[in-house]
Amino acid sequence: MQMGAVIEDRLSKRVTHVFAMDSDTLFNEFDKERLSRFKGTALQYQWLEDSLKSGEKLCQDMYVLRLDPQGEHIPDKSLDPEPGNENISSDAQQLQNKKMKTASEDTEIVNLKNNKDRRENGPFSSTSMSTSHGEVDNLSYANTRPQHLDTENDSSLSYCPPDLNKNITEIFGKLVNIYRALGDDRRSFSYYKAIAVIEKLPFKIENADQIKDLPSIGKSMKDHIQEIITTEKLSKLEHFETDEKVRTISLFGEVWGIGPATALKLYEKGHRTLDDLRNDNSLTNAQMLGLKYFDDIMQRIPRDEVQEMEHILQKVGEDVLPGVVIVCGGSYRRGKATCGDIDIIITHPDGTSHKGFLPKFVKQLKDMNFVREDLIFSTHSEEGTDSGVDTYFGFCTYPGRELRHRIDLKVYPRDIYAFGLVAWTGNDVLNRRLRLLAESKGFKLDDTGLFPSTQGSGGKRTASLIGVGTTQSELKAEYGGGKYDRTRNAAAESFVTMRLTYPNSEESGRKW
């Protein structure tokens, strides 16, 4: 049992809900006759994700999948408002804004993610430790490129919001970038959260009152939305775009390595264009590279190309260090159709072989002209005075092209790998909420562990409470003196760290 639901691995009369990425997934798993007899509800996985994010069970209607194989594999169109209907407060619309009542009885679910193929290929896969390698013969570019991927099938696995309100989200997106460039993270994050809510709505907003009860939509945001609906523009954005200072600082802030403070200094020096910056000798080498490849890295990378590059990295990594785990995180791991850059998280199951891997890995990638220019390259202290994480930021190219893409490589010790994987998968909203939750409980959370809010003597960070700092004796005591496997029992370790009693498998109904 998990969160009030019993997870079933097969379809039976007890099952009330089936979760899948889309209708195609259902039809591949079950035949038409079985689905026609199913009396329950089929929902998109996105319902689970959105419910967890909101902290409550959301209305299911906008996530319902059709069980008719001839129908479109999208939520029922009957839930969308009719064109030209000025009063969108229909029953379906009211359902969208209502909070779903908590079910009084347990819900039994058949989870298609238990299927091996779904686990390994799904964009929200929890088995990312199982790497997949392309058909590669040697390290030359000609032979390293994997077989052509079925992009049509791949895209069907990715959740694509309907984004029926681009007129709003595009304007808010510009404000996100402007406030970020100005160093106003609070306002930037407010618009960022609003976009995440609005782009998933299954209807076009005709009146701001339709979304007044949605999370992240306050009075000010609602007023902005109403102005956009009424005038097709936003006066605040127009003010920013006509303000030379704001426009220039925003432009400079888009260059890799230039933050709000540096952008302001460059503006005060009299620079107004990117060409002006190219003649400024005060820029660092990394900033000059960011300027040189500015147009390149502004282009989004198609998902299928990111997948091919992940396979290349996995193959090269395996040649350098057998057994190494290489996972592409970021928007790719979240199932997006395109990515802004490539975030790679690396570890090794034995907990020690990862040391010294990154320099060898980068050299091999440079020898085959995959990695091209360096931005940041740092390795951890052998004395163990830091987090033990190795970092490489740079530029790479897709096989056969010169177009630069940003790539980040992070190598973590096995015992803190989970923190790095979560942090570098994101998204920003999730990471921020996790940090705030940790702070509310007296902890500090980052990509290397969970720590007490207070630092050690001399300003040094104390040992991580979860992942590296919890003593083996504590954990063995919790297990009655039995052998403790840190990786398998990470959940139990978290309970011990928070000084909570860990429920055994019989109490929780969960199989470990």
CATH number at residue 380: 3.30.460.10
| Unique residue bearing structure tokens 């996105």 | 46
Q: Are residues 12 and 35 in the same domain?
A: yes
Structural domain ending residue among the three candidates 236, 262, 297: 297
pLDDT at residue 492, as a whole number: 52
pLDDT at residue 271, as a whole number: 95
Q: Are residues 44 and 80 in the same domain?
A: yes
Q: Are residues 382 and 441 in the same domain?
A: no
Contact 412, 354 (CB under 8 A): yes
Q: Are residues 175 and 289 in the same domain?
A: yes
C-alpha 155/C-alpha 177 separation (Å) is 27
C-alpha 207/C-alpha 226 separation (Å) is 6
In the chain, the amino acid numbered 412 is Y
Structural domain ending residue among the three candidates 79, 114, 149: 114
Question: What is the three-state SS of 235-299?
Answer: HHHHHHHHCHHHHHHHHHHCCCCCCHHHHHHHHHCCCCCHHHHHCCCCCCHHHHHHHHCHHHHCC
Q: 2 Cβ partners below 8 Å, 6+ apart?
A: 510
In the chain, the amino acid numbered 269 is K
- 42's enclosing H/E stretch is strand 41-44
Kindly state whether residue 207 falls inside one of the protein's structural domains.
yes
Return the SS3 of 497: helix
Among 24-28, 54-58, 161-165, 179-183, top mean pLDDT goes to 179-183
Kindly state whether residue 76 falls inside one of the protein's structural domains.
yes
Q: Are residues 366 and 475 in the same domain?
A: no
**What are 349-355's contacts with CB under 8 Å, separation 24+?**
349/129, 349/323, 349/325, 349/414, 349/487, 350/323, 350/414, 351/413, 351/414, 351/415, 353/321, 353/323, 353/324, 354/321, 354/324, 354/390, 354/411, 354/412, 354/413, 354/414, 355/382
Q: pLDDT grade, residue 55 (50/70/90)?
A: low
Which tens digit of pLDDT belongs to each residue from 148-199? 333 333 333 444 555 789 999 999 999 998 898 888 888 998 998 899 889 8
Position 2 pLDDT exceeds 50: no
Return the SS3 of 413: coil
More confident of the two residues 482 and 413: 413
Neighbour-count burial of 191, counting CB atoms closer than 10 A to its CB (0-12 exposed, 13-18 middle, 19+ buried): buried
pLDDT at residue 131, as a whole number: 33
Kindly state whether residue 474 falls inside one of the protein's structural domains.
yes
Contact 348, 321 (CB under 8 A): yes
DSSP 480: T
More confident of the two residues 422 and 120: 422
The structural domain count of the chain equals 4
DSSP 123: T
Q: Are residues 384 and 268 in the same domain?
A: no
Q: Are residues 422 and 493 in the same domain?
A: no
Kindly state whether residue 267 falls inside one of the protein's structural domains.
yes
Kindly state whether residue 151 falls inside one of the protein's structural domains.
no
The model carries a pTM of 0.57
C-alpha 465/C-alpha 482 separation (Å) is 21
Q: pLDDT grade, residue 49 (50/70/90)?
A: confident
DSSP 64: B
Phi-psi region of 351 (alpha: psi -120 to 50; beta: other; left: phi over 0): left
Among 42-51, 252-261, 287-296, top mean pLDDT goes to 287-296
pLDDT at residue 416, as a whole number: 93
Its sign, for the CA torsion 290, 291, 292, 298, is: positive
Q: Are residues 461 and 414 in the same domain?
A: no
Comparing C-alpha atoms, which of 190, 200, 197 is closest to residue 221?
A: 190
Q: Containing domain of residue 17, as a range?
A: 5-114
Of 73, 133, 148, 224, catalytic: 224
Percent pLDDT > 70 in the chain is 65
Structural domain ending residue among the three candidates 297, 324, 354: 297
Q: What angle do CA 303, 307, 313 make, to 5 degrees?
A: 140
Q: pLDDT grade, residue 248 (50/70/90)?
A: very high
Q: Are residues 411 and 443 in the same domain?
A: no
**Would you list the DSSP string of 354-406?**
TTTHHHHHHHHHHHTTSEEEEEEEE---TTS-S---EEEEEEEE-TT---EEE
CATH code: domain of residue 226:
1.10.150.110
More confident of the two residues 12 and 423: 423
Contact 460, 466 (CB under 8 A): no
Position 361 pLDDT exceeds 80: yes
Q: pLDDT grade, residue 299 (50/70/90)?
A: very high
C-alpha 121/C-alpha 29 separation (Å) is 14
Kindly state whether residue 153 falls inside one of the protein's structural domains.
no
Q: Are residues 178 and 240 in the same domain?
A: yes
Q: How many CA atoms lie within 13 A of 61 on its CB side?
A: 18
Across 57-61, 85-89, 159-163, least confident range: 85-89
Kindly state whether residue 284 falls inside one of the protein's structural domains.
yes
Which tens digit of pLDDT belongs to each residue from 199-232? 888 889 999 999 888 888 999 999 999 999 999 9
Q: Are residues 263 and 183 in the same domain?
A: yes
pLDDT at residue 496, as a whole number: 52
Q: Are residues 210 and 226 in the same domain?
A: yes
Position 397 pLDDT exceeds 50: yes
- Does the active-site annotation cover 224? yes
Kindly state whether residue 136 falls inside one of the protein's structural domains.
no
Core vs surface per residue 305-337: b (16+ CB within 10 A) or e: bbbbbbbbbbbbbbebbeebbbbbbbbbbbbbb
pLDDT at residue 58, as a whole number: 76
Which tens digit of pLDDT belongs to each residue from 265-297? 999 999 999 999 998 989 999 999 999 999 999
- What mean pLDDT, rounded, does the chain reach? 74
